Every structure is written in structure tokens, then in C-alpha cells.
Chain A
Amino acid sequence: AQTVTQSQPEMSVQEAETVTLSCTYDTSESNYYLFWYKQPPSRQMILVIRQEAYKQQNATENRFSVNFQKAAKSFSLKISDSQLGDTAMYFCAFNSNSNSGYALNFGKGTSLLVTP
């Protein structure tokens, strides 16, 4: 079974600073996809960034970037120039093949607070 671990239940960062959220996963599969989703207080699940395991280049979306270390099974999210609107729960997710479908396996989340 695939597992996703987020070891930081809560983090805090000041506005305009940089913060890194950690995620590790366990799988025996060679082809998979990794995601970071953001859940603000509205509870909506919003895709932040995705990474294909076969790609060596780390994904980047504006202020969000990942550090994907396949051998170490690590997938951290870096948020640069943090903004107050980045305050949210962040979930790392692994996309696996489950009975011919693909279901997201989520970590337990990291609650990020951006302070003025």
C-alpha cells in the first residue's frame, strides 16, 4: 500500500518570506504522479502543483516550486514570497493505480499560517 507522510502538522511564516513543506511517500511503483493541494478556510480543495515521477525537472508554478527526490521518495513544496492568502492546509497527494482506476492518496496535511 502507498503511504504519504507529512511530518509537519503546523508551520508559520512571515509575509514575503520563504517556507518549505515536507512530504515523503512510500511506493513500489515506478510510474506515478505527485500533487500538492491547498485547502483554505473555505474548505475548497485547490490544485497547487503536480509532478510526474518520470520527469527529472522539478515542477514550478509562479511562487510555488517542488523539490522532487525520487530515490529518497521525497516531495517538498517551497512557497516563495509568502502572501496572507497562502494561509491554508496543504495536502501532499500520491496518484496510484488502484483496481484500474487512479485514486489520490493524501497525507494528513500541514497547516500553514502566514503572518503580517
Chain B
Amino acid sequence: DSGVTQTPKHLITATGQRVTLRCSPRSGDLSVYWYQQSLDQGLQFLIQYYNGEERAKGNILERFSAQQFPDLHSELNLSSLELGDSALYFCASSVEPGGTDTQYFGPGTRLTVL
């Protein structure tokens, strides 16, 4: 158990809908990262927050957005869902925002768009 929690574990929804994925980092970690794992694209970085502020952006679609709250939990919002958004979404956390720190991953949320 990495100490990073993600809810829900599974999510099934229809095209065009909107969903919210939630992540709680390890105690003491200030930085949260979101990654998407799909069969065709592999593991891709989406976005990073550090202590409530956006720090870095990767291949995140405009239909996706995220935020980190004062209690440091983070939410990833996915809207106007398409079939291709079906994937495993991971949250990871680390103490520092930089590369000296190891990122610890949560168990992931499996999103299925029908």
C-alpha cells in the first residue's frame, strides 16, 4: 500500500457524460500528478499540482481539468467523454515538486466509456 488513495476504483459511463476522479496523496506529500494508461498510448502524464497550484501540464485534453484543494486532495474532471477516454487513470504523489523525489502511485481508477 503506497498510502495514495483513489476513488472510485471503477467507473462506467456513457459518451458525452462528465465524471470526477478523486485522489488523496500520502500524508505529507504536497505534489500530485495525474497519469493516463491506455492500451494504445501507454502511460502518459496529464498534469501536476503542487500545494494547490498547477505546476506542469502534459498531454491533457481541453475537455479535462484538474484542481488541488487546500487539504491537498486532487480531483480530475473529464467532460464530454468519448470512447477513447476509456483508460486507467493514476494519481501519484511526492513530497517535493521536483525530480529528486520519488512518485508513489495510487491504485488507479478504471474508466469505461460506453
Question: Within B17-50, which residues are at the interface with A (CB < 8 Å)?
Answer: 31, 33, 35, 42-45, 48, 50
Please state if B102 and A35 are interface contacts (CB–CB under 8 Å).
Answer: yes
Please state if A43 and B108 are interface contacts (CB–CB under 8 Å).
Answer: yes
A45 to B44, CA, bound (A): 14
Please state if A104 and B42 are interface contacts (CB–CB under 8 Å).
Answer: no
8 Å CB contact of A103 from B42, B50, B56, B107 = B56
Interchain pairs with CB closer than 8 A, number: 69
A32 proximity list for chain B (CB < 8 A):
99
Please state if A105 and B45 are interface contacts (CB–CB under 8 Å).
Answer: yes
B58 at interface, CB cutoff 8 A: yes
Please state if B108 and A44 are interface contacts (CB–CB under 8 Å).
Answer: yes
Closest Cβ of chain B to A63, distance in Å, is 19
Stretch of A13-21, A69-77, A78-86, A90-98 lying at the B interface: A90-98
Interface size class of A (residues with CB under 8 A): 20 to 34
Interface size class of B (residues with CB under 8 A): 20 to 34
A106 at interface, CB cutoff 8 A: yes
A50 to B104, CA, bound (A): 12
Query: B-contacting residues of A (Cβ < 8 Å)?
Result: 31-33, 35, 37, 42-47, 50, 91, 95-109
Query: Could you jot down 27 A-B contacts, CB within 8 Å?
Result: A33-B99, A35-B102, A43-B108, A44-B2, A44-B107, A45-B90, A45-B92, A45-B105, A46-B105, A47-B104, A50-B102, A91-B43, A96-B99, A98-B56, A98-B58, A100-B55, A101-B48, A101-B97, A101-B98, A102-B48, A102-B101, A103-B48, A104-B43, A104-B92, A106-B43, A107-B42, A108-B42
